[in-house]
Amino acid sequence: MKPNRSMEIGTGLFVLLGFAALVFLTTQLPGSGLRVGAAQGYKVLAKFDNVGDLKPGSPVSMSGVRIGRVEAIVFDASDYRAEVTLRIDPQYDRIPEDSDASIQTAGLLGGKYVGLGAGGSETFLAEGGRIEFTQSAIVLESLVNKFFANFADKGGSSAAPAAETAPETVAEEKP
């Protein structure tokens, strides 16, 4: 059977289109590091005890709206916490200074992102600002470990303490 020239060209174009789509999707990943144009906006710092699997490039959102991206995550050896640099888009320049930041999960198995909750201050975050109120990531493995440890403690010794702490009653004899 003789190969058809138009079939070969069609297959080649299909494979080329697949590679182009793969390259495009790779640039859209949060941690890819590939950005088009210079980063705009202002930087804000927040310190967390545990960032989980938060990565540079992850979204920063407020009320469910993406307002920026995580720019960098470094370990601060002076206070043993993770310092997260957030780049907030320039149009969101009226975020109250006493706002809080928490690391949240997008869905059950989704990636982590930083969620901001609005404060009530009359002054606003600016370049080099710091978010003081933070809540670390909830690590599912540690919650499961705590649950099973608590369950094992209660399950193994639940009958013994009840017998030991029961009040003694003394029956009085009647004459």
Q: Read off the amino acid at residue 150.
A: N
Beta pairing class for 65-76 and 81-88: antiparallel
Structure tokens at 67: 């307002």
Predicted TM-score (pTM) of this structure: 0.62
In the block, residue with structure tokens 């601060």: 76
Taking only the tens place, the pLDDT of each residue in 11-27 is: 999 999 999 988 887 76
Question: Does residue 87 contact residue 69 with C-beta atoms inside 8 Å?
Answer: yes
Taking only the tens place, the pLDDT of each residue in 140-175 is: 777 788 888 888 877 655 444 444 444 444 445 554
Averaged pLDDT score across all residues of the chain: 81
SS (H, E, C) 39-92: CCCEEEEEEECCCCCCCCCCEEEECCEEEEEEEEEEEECCCCEEEEEEEECCCC
